[in-house]
Every structure is written in structure tokens, then in C-alpha cells.
Amino acid sequence: MSDYMLSKEYFIKVIEDLIALVEERGAYYTELDSAIGDGDHGINLEIGFREVNKHLDEWKGLNVRDFYNNVGKALLDKVGGSSGPLYGSFFMKFGLPIKAKGPEEGATFAEFIDMMDKGVAIIQKRGKSTTGEKTMLDTFIPALETMKAEYAAGTPAKEAMEKAVDAGKAGLESTRNIVATKGRAMRLGERAIGHLDPGAASAAEFLEVFYKDMP
């Protein structure tokens, strides 16, 4: 497993597929946000990923770190709302652990976990949030913990990621039964019960793209 590699092409494909996912699922994310927020989560992501799409060809020659830094910056600069800065920071930090590499290099699965770790940590830091608050972290944190635990147990990378995606989906499902203590849904109090968190939903589907594109 130590020679399991995620290529630069993988990291580019993930962004191409996220652009397509947001076009396909944006309306659903917006519908979820209409129930407990202000009905713009999908719209926000569409604005951000359309901006990324405009620059994709020009960025493909960059190394993975700079490529993801640009993706994150585009989301941060173009998207209003909380998800733009949070996802923007996630992608900006995501590339950092592979900074020492050349323009065509990818990452090992251990490095990939480190990348996810850095991305999730900045969401926690910027959002001043953690699990149980009805946010995207209810997806990201259990997924990350599962990734780490499975890797430590010697589970092959793709299988470890599959389990991480399942843990993220269970986390998403858990947002249905909690009151929000972060984000706009906070204002609803108990009325948010019964509804999935939109950011947790997009995060679960984003992770699924990272999984499906893995070799």
C-alpha cells in the first residue's frame, strides 16, 4: 500500500468532477438551504465552481499545491455566504502538504490524509465549529477520523476512503436530528429538526467524488 499513488491527473479530475457535481446537484443543495437557511447554498457553490471552470485550463500546468490554492482562492473571492470562505480555505490548505513536489507529481495516500486533515482543520478554525453543530463538519470530521483509523489499520486506500465516505454520510444523516449552533440555521432552533444541513450534504457528495476518482 505504501506505493499507492494519487496522480496529479487525479487531483485535476476531482475538481472537474466537482464542477460537474455542483451543476447537477446545486438545485438540491439550494432546496435544503431553503428549509433551514436562506436558500442559496447551491447557488453559492455554482458561482464559485463556475469561476474555477473558467480558469481550469490555464491552471492545469501548475503543481497540485498551486492548482488547489487557486481553486480555493476563486471560491473565497467569488462566493458570498459562509460556504465560500469555508470551502475556499479548505481547498487552499488542501494542497499545502505536498509543497515540496514538482509540477507533475501527485501524493501518497498518507499525504492525501494529511491534505484532508489540513483542509478540515481550517474549516474548524475559521468556522469556530466542530461536530454536533449541524454543519459540514458533521460530514467531514467523522470521514477524516475514519480515513485515519482505516489507514492505521492497514486497510487498502480505496477501501479506507469508501469507509470514510460512509462515515461522512452517516454524519450527514445525523444532522437531521440536531439543532444548529452555528450558521444561519441557528435562528430556527428546534424548527431545524427533521432537516439535513445543506453544507453537510454538499460535503458528503464532494467526498464521494474524491473516492470515486481514486484508482
Q: Among 100, 91, 97, 34, which Cα is nearest to 67's? A: 91
Question: How near is the Cβ of 74 to Mg ion at its closest, in Å?
Answer: 19
Q: Does 183 bind ligand ADP (CB under 6 A)?
A: yes
Q: Does 205 bind ligand ADP (CB under 6 A)?
A: no
When CB distances to ligand ADP are compared, the closest residue is 199
CB atoms within 10 A of CB 82: 20
Q: Could you say which of Mg ion, ligand ADP, none residue 82 binds, taking C-beta under 5 to 8 angstroms by partner kind?
A: ligand ADP
Q: How far apart are CA 168 and CA 172, in angstroms?
A: 6
Give the DSSP per-residue string, 44-62. HHHHHHHHHHHHHHHHTTS
CB atoms within 10 A of CB 118: 17
Q: Could you say which of ligand ADP, Mg ion, none residue 70 binds, taking C-beta under 5 to 8 angstroms by partner kind?
A: none
Q: Does 199 bind ligand ADP (CB under 6 A)?
A: yes
Q: How far apart are CA 76 and CA 187, in angstroms?
A: 25
Among 18, 74, 75, 86, binds ligand ADP (CB under 6 A): 86
Q: How far apart are CA 165 and CA 144, in angstroms?
A: 9
Q: Does 137 bind ligand ADP (CB under 6 A)?
A: yes
Q: Does 200 bind ligand ADP (CB under 6 A)?
A: yes
Question: How near is the Cβ of 182 to Mg ion at its closest, in Å?
Answer: 13
Q: Could you say which of ligand ADP, Mg ion, none residue 9 binds, taking C-beta under 5 to 8 angstroms by partner kind?
A: none
Q: Does 85 bind ligand ADP (CB under 6 A)?
A: no
Q: Which residues, in sequence order, are CB contacts of 20 under 8 Å at separation 6+?
A: none
> Do 127 and 89 form a contact (C-beta atoms < 8 A)?
no
Q: Does 8 bind ligand ADP (CB under 6 A)?
A: no
Positions in the binding site for ligand ADP (CB under 6 A): 33, 37-38, 40-41, 44, 81-83, 86, 123, 127, 129, 135-137, 182-184, 197-200
